[in-house]
Amino acid sequence: DTAVSQTPKYLVTQMGNDKSIKCEQNLGHDTMYWYKQDSKKFLKIMFSYNNKELIINETVPNRFSPKSPDKAHLNLHINSLELGDSAVYFCASSKARFQPLHFGNGTRLTVT
Amino acid sequence: QKEVEQNSGPLSVPEGAIASLNCTYSDRGSQSFFWYRQYSGKSPELIMSIYSNGDKEDGRFTAQLNKASQYVSLLIRDSQPSDSATYLCAGPFRPNAGNMLTFGGGTRLMVKP
């Protein structure tokens, strides 16, 4: 009965490839997010998605795109992967925009 | 100035002592703050929420918010080795970006037996 689940847990790929990370939440939350945690452990917001409203952190390259087929899912697509994309990506959800986040277990992406 | 700032540490305290973790923020309009604990290789886990000035206690944890001075703190009483982790402060900043929850860089706490 995992609340926020991400797949895959590990993803190793080569530069230039396109990859996706899936996220699902069974908490009935209205808002979902993607965060990137780099090697220095800094957790950086990438996107939030609420009721078909997508909010994008302006520093995120347009190679990254979230896709939400329904309220319980927010997948992350990454095109033309670069070495600097290597990080741990966390999906999260919250009841509403100003409520605390519940995180998934993370996906460790390694680009070689 | 970063939106949320924390001392990266490590903060080392002996077992049984009080650990004090601090966080300052830049957006005066922020109303709610959260403390997360992250063990190495794991995801962040919510341990405290605070929405108004003053103290909020939950077991061995006390969160303190001072909006006038723009800081948030977390006190851990009777620190245990199992409290050793990175503690992340977060608040809904960046009003131009939908007030998405923004995290500080985290403070690494080490509790020595």
Q: Mean pLDDT across the stretch B13-19? A: 97
Rounded to the nearest angstrom, the minimum Cα separation between B80 and chain A is 23
Q: Which residue of A has its CA nearest to B40?
A: A41
Verify whether the Cβ–Cβ distance A102 to B86 is below 8 Å.
no
Verify whether the Cβ–Cβ distance A102 to B101 is below 8 Å.
no
Per-residue pLDDT tens over the stretch A8-58: 999 999 999 999 999 999 999 989 999 999 988 889 989 888 877 888 787
Q: Which of A2, A50, A60, A101 to probe by mutation at the B interface, max B CB count within 10 Å?
A: A101
Pairing mode of beta strands A107-111, A10-13:
parallel
Res. A100 pLDDT band, cuts 50 70 90: confident
Position B86 scores a pLDDT of 96
Position B40 scores a pLDDT of 93
* Residues contacting B35, CB < 8 A, separation 6+: B21, B46, B47, B48, B49, B61, B63, B72, B74, B87, B88, B89, B90
Position A56 scores a pLDDT of 79
Per-residue pLDDT tens over the stretch B43-62: 999 999 998 889 999 999 99
Position B61 scores a pLDDT of 97
Per-residue pLDDT tens over the stretch A69-85: 888 999 999 999 999 99
Dist CA A56 CA A49 (whole Å): 9
Dist CA A30 CA A52 (whole Å): 10
A92 three-state secondary structure: strand
B98 pLDDT above the threshold of 70: no
